[in-house]
Amino acid sequence: MCGILALISGNIECNDAAVDLHEALYALQHRGQDGCGIATSHKSGRIYSCKGKGLASKVFRDGELVPELPGFMGLGHLRYPTAGTSSNAESQPFYVSSPYGLLFSHNGNLLDTEKLKEYLDFEAHRHINTDSDSEIMLQVFASQLLQTDKRRVDEDDIFTGLENMYKMTVSGFAFCGMVAGFAIFGARDPNGIRPLVIGSRLNPDGKGLDYMLASDSPNSIIDGISVYESRQNMGLKLANTILKTLGQDVVDDIDIANRLIAVVAIPDSGIVPALSVAEALKRPYRHAFSRNRYIFRTFIMPNQESVVRAYNRNSILCGVCNMAREAGAKKVYFASSSPPVTHPHIYGIDLATSTELVAYNRDRKSIAASINADELIFLPLEGLEAACAELSPRSKQSFEIGVFCGRYVTPVSQGYLEKLEKTQGKPKAIDGSHNGMFVTVGDSVTTRPMVSERSDVSLHNLAEDH
C-alpha cells in the first residue's frame, strides 16, 4: 500500500519539482510511514536523492533539505513494507545507473520473485542488492531497456521495454519511473489492481503543462470511476441491506438514551458511506468517535506485530462497540460497507494470515457476538461490485475480489500462498531472524552478515549528511 509520485515541469529550466513532491508526500502519508524519499533530475541528467526511514517531516527535516534537490522532474515514495526489511537501503526511489539512469517508485507485490531472480542472475547478469520486490522489477525493466543498444532512448523504447517486462511478471502493481533528464512515466499491472492517477496543470511560468502521477486519494477518479461517488453508492446499497436484515421496525427503534442516532461513522473512510446510509434510512448522522490525527497510524507502523494481530483478533471492533455502550447505547448494530474479508491480500497489503482474519470460517452471528454487537450487517460482494461498476464508463466492468472469496485475477501458486501464511503480519525489521537466509555468490552459497543498518550503495543520499 505504498504511496508513489512523479512530477515533470513543462519548463525545463525549473528547479523546484521537489517542492511539490515534498508537499504531496504529506497528502499521501497515510499510505506509508516506514520510510520515504524523493529523487530529482536536473536538465543535465544529474540526479539528486534524499530518502530514509520515518515520516516525511523527519526525513526532510520539515522541508529543510528540499532546496538541496534541484531539478525539473522527480519521483517520490512513501513506504509501507510487505516484502524485504525496514532497512534504509529499501527506502525508495530505487536507482540503477545502467542503462540511462533509471529510477522507480513502486507499489505492489510480485508473485514470481524466484523466477525473476533466476532470470536476472543467469540471463541478464544484473545484481540485486536488497530483498525488495521493487528492486527486482526495476532491474527487469532495465534489462529489457538495455536491449535497445542505443546511446539514447525515446518514448517508443520505453513502451517496448515496459511491454516486455509485463510479459515476464505476474503481479498487482503500480509504479512511477524516471529516465534521468529525459522523461517520467507510470504504469499499472495489466489487471489494474493497484491505483495510479494522472493530472496536469498550466505551468506557473506559462511554458506548457506540468504533469503529476500519484496514488489514489478520496477525490480521485480511477478508470473513470469516482472514488467518492462509489463510496456514496456503497452506503445506499448498505442501507438496503440493513433494511432487509433488520426490518423497518428495528431501524425505527434505534436510539441512544432516547436521542435518535441512526448512523455513526468509523473510520474516516466510512464517513461518506455513512452519510448515504443516514440519508437513505432517513435517520440523522452523528459524529461520535474521534481519533488522534497527530500520531502514527498504528495499523501500518513498522514492527508493530502486536498491533496488527490485535486488529485481526477484532479487539478494535469490540472496543468501538464497548465505547458505544458505555456512552449509553441500548443497542449496537455494526454495519460494514465492505463484504467480510476472508482471504489474504497478495498484492501489497500486509493484513494477516487467513486464520487470523475475523471473518475466517465464521458466520455473521458469531462475529457479531465476538465484537459485542447486537447485529452485524455486511454489504454483499455483489453489492460492492455493483456500487462501483454502475459508475464505470465501460459496459462490462470487473474487479479484483480475491480477499472476499479467494478467487484472484492472477495465477497464484499454492506454494506462494503457503509462504504468505508464514510471513504476513510478521515484523520486517533487521533482526536475528535473518541469520538463516542465503544468497548466491558465484557458484557458492553463503549466509548474509548481520549489520545494524545499511544504506543504498548507488546514489549519494542527502538524508545521511544531517
Report, as residue numbers or ranges, the catalytic residues.
2
CA distance 427 to 423: 9
Q: Kind and range of the H or E element at 387?
A: helix 381-389
* Helices 271-281, 227-246: crossing angle, 10 deg rounding: 50
CA distance 55 to 77: 11
CA distance 335 to 375: 8
CA distance 270 to 19: 32
Q: CA 417, 338, 421 angle in degrees (round to 5)?
A: 15
Look at the chain and count its residues.
466
Nearest C-alpha neighbor of 205 from the set 400, 12, 405, 458: 12
3 state SS of 108: strand
Task: Copy the grid coordinates of residue 251.
Answer: 431501524
Chain Cα centroid distance, residue 44: 32
Nearby residues of 218 by Cβ (< 8 Å), 6 or more positions away: 227, 228, 231, 269, 272
Task: Copy the grid coordinates of residue 398.
Answer: 470487473
Task: Copy the grid coordinates of residue 113.
Answer: 520473485
CA distance 429 to 81: 10
CA distance 196 to 176: 9
Chain Cα centroid distance, residue 308: 16
C-beta separation of 324 from 288 below 8 A: yes
CA distance 191 to 128: 27
Q: Which amino acid is at 353?
A: T
Chain Cα centroid distance, residue 275: 26
3 state SS of 334: strand
Q: Kind and range of the H or E element at 210?
A: strand 209-214
Q: Kind and range of the H or E element at 323?
A: helix 315-326
CA distance 163 to 165: 5
- Composition of the chain by helix, strand, coil, percent to 5: 35, 20, 45
